Structure 1
Amino acid sequence: MTMPVFLRRVAAGAKFSAFAVLAAFAASPSTAAPRGAAAAGWPHEKPMAWIVGFPPGGTADTLTRRAAVLLSRKTGQPVVVENRAGASGAVAVQAAASAAADGYTMVTMAGPGIDAQGTPALGNGLQPVAMLAKGPMVLVGPMANAPPADLQALLAEARRNPKAWSYATSGTGTPQHLAGELLNRLAGTSILHVPYKGGAQAIGGVVGGQVPLAMLGVMPLLPYIASGKVKAYAVTSASRLRATLPDVPTMQEAGLADYDISQWNLVAVAEKVPSARVAQLNRWINEIMTSREMKEALRVTGCVPLEGSPAFVSSFVRAEDEKWRAFARAVGIAN
C-alpha cells in the first residue's frame, strides 16, 4: 500500500499511538504561536475543564486535546482535559450536566449514537456550544494468521462461519456500533458486536488478536495501519482518504452501494450556562477549528471541521438523531 511520508516516519518510530500520529501531522512552526491575549470580560478565576467520555488515545480524546491546546493559547488560561470513561460516554455527559453553570466545564460528545435512557443530552441538562469535526471510521483486522484479502472475502467468511467473527468498538450505542450494524444490515452478516471502554482499548483487542475485527475512527488507527499491525478493509465515508489511506476502498467501492456513515464530535456545556458565555465559547472554538493549523491536522485523518452556531449544532444533531435512531430501531439495538 502506498504510504504517505508522515506515516512512514510514524511507522519507523518506536511507539505507535494516537499521540504519535498527532505529533506527526499537527507539528508545524505555526503550532508554536505565542499565547493570545485573554478576551475582555471572560473571567479567569480557575482553569477550564474539558471532559472526554473515553480513555486517552481514541478519536474524541485526541481531537479534544489538540483543540484544548489551541483554546488555551487563545484565552491565555489553562484548559485541562479530563478523561471520565464509562457507559459509552454517559459518565462524562452526566458530569458536565452537573457542573457549575459558569462555562468553565465543557464536554466533548460523539455522534451519531444511541444514548441510554435518562442520559443527559442536548436540551436535557446540556446545551450545544459548537461542532468540532466530522470524519470517517475504518474497518480493520489483525495482520496475523493470513487475513482475508479484501472486504468481500471477509464478508464471505463471516457468512460461512458467523460464530467466528466479531468486531470491537469504543462502546455500545457509539458511532462505531452503528457503523458495524450498518455493515451487517447491508452485507447480510451477523458479526457480533464487542464493546470496549474506549477506542484505545478496542485497538489493543484487535492488535492482540482478542477480536478479529474493529470498527473505529481513523485517527488513532493510522500508526497501526502504517506499521502493518492491522489490515484496513474499507473506510465508512463515501470518499477515500487520499491523504493517508489512498489504497483503502470505501465500503461503497468494496460492494456495499448504500453504505455511508461518518462520526462527529461537538462541544456542550450545562444547560444553564449564560448565553453570553456560550456565545464566546462558540466563537473561540469556531476560530480554532477553522484555523490553518487545525485544518491541516484534520486533513490527514480525513476529518473536516464543522463551523456553526449553537442553533446549527442543535439542528444538525436533531437530524442525525432522527435518522440513526430509526435505523437502530430497525436493526434491534434501540427501542
Structure 2
Amino acid sequence: MSRIPQGELRRGWTTGACATAAVKAALDALWGDGFPKEVGIVLPKGETPVFALAHQAAGPGWAEVGITKDAGDDPDVTHGALIIARVEASRRGVQFHAGDGVGQVTKPGLPIVVGEPAINPVPRQMMIRAVEEQAARYGCASDIHITISVPGGQALALKTWNPRLGIEGGISILGTTGVVRPFSCAAWIASIHRGIDVARADGLAHVAGCTGATSETAVQSLYGLPDHAMLDMGDFFGGMAKYLKRNPVERLTVGGGIAKLTKLAQGAVDLHSARSQVDFERLAVDLGEDRVKQANTVLDALDLVGPPLAEWVATRAYDRVVKAVGRQVAADVVVVDRAGTILAQAGA
C-alpha cells in the first residue's frame, strides 16, 4: 500500500514537458554548438522548469536527448522513466514518430487519430513551439522529424489504461499544463473520460464503471462485456457520471463492493475513504434497524442485517446513478462481496 507523503507535496513534470525539453536541447546540438548542460522551457501557464540532461547522443544529421521524468510526490507509474527525443531534418514541417516504448493509437475516440503516435495535442503544440523558437534562433527551417522513445515504456503501459484504450506498444506522452500536481486525481479522471470516448466511437451500447478489480471481474463476467467497455471508475463516480451525462451511452452498469456503494447510496460522488464516510446513524434510520448504529464498518452492518442491507444499497445507489447521469442512460447497479459474489442488483 502506498503512503501519502506528509507535509507539503512536491509537484513534478509531465511526460509532455520532459519531451519538449528534450527536443529543445537536441536542437541545440543539431543546429548550435552542442548539448547544453541543462535546458529550460516555458509551460502553457507560464512555469519555467529547468531540466538536467540524462542522456545525449548525436550522429550525421541527428541528435537526441533524454530527460528523466520527475513526477514529484505523485505516485505516477512513469516517475523515473527516461523520455528521449531524437530530432532530424524533415521535408515538411514538424512530424511526430513513436519510438520504442511509445504507443500508437489503434482505436477511434481519442484526441489523436488512429495510426498516429500516442503523443497528445498539448505536448505536440509545446514541441512544435520549441522547434519554431529554436529555428528562429539558429536561422534554420522548422522542418523536423521528432521521434519520442521511452525505454521500458511497453512494460510501463501495462500499468496504465492504454491497452484498454487501444493504445498499443507503449505509454502515451501526456500533459495539458506540463505540471504533475500530486494526488490531484486529474489523470485518473481524464483516463475515464478517454475510455468513454473510445467506447462511444466504437459504438458500444453498454459500459461499466466499477470500484475495483473484484467488482469489475464480476460485472464483466455477468454481462460478457469486452475490455474496452470497462471504465476504470475506482472512487471517481462523480467524474464518470458528469462526463456520461454530457456524452451519453445507451446503458451504464455501476459495480462495486458494498462499502463503497453504501457511500454512493448516501449521496457521495467521491468514494475514497479520505473524502467520504458512511453515516451509520442515518443508515440505521433508513433501514429501520437501530442496531446498525453500533456497527464500525459496513461489513459489520451486513453481518447484523443480512441481505436487506445489500438490497437497500443497490436500490438507493441506483437512484443516485440515475439522478447523476440522467434518464437518457439506462442504468443498473451490481453490489458484490469481497469474493466477487453478487449480493444484490437494481435497475435495468
Question: What's the TM-score bracket when you normalise by the shorter of the two chains?
Answer: under 0.3
Query: Of the two structures, which has the highest relative contact order with CA contacts closer than 8 Å and spacing of 6 or more?
Result: 1
TM-score (norm 1): 0.21
From the CA coordinates, give the structure whose radius of gyration is larger: 2
TM-score (norm 2): 0.21
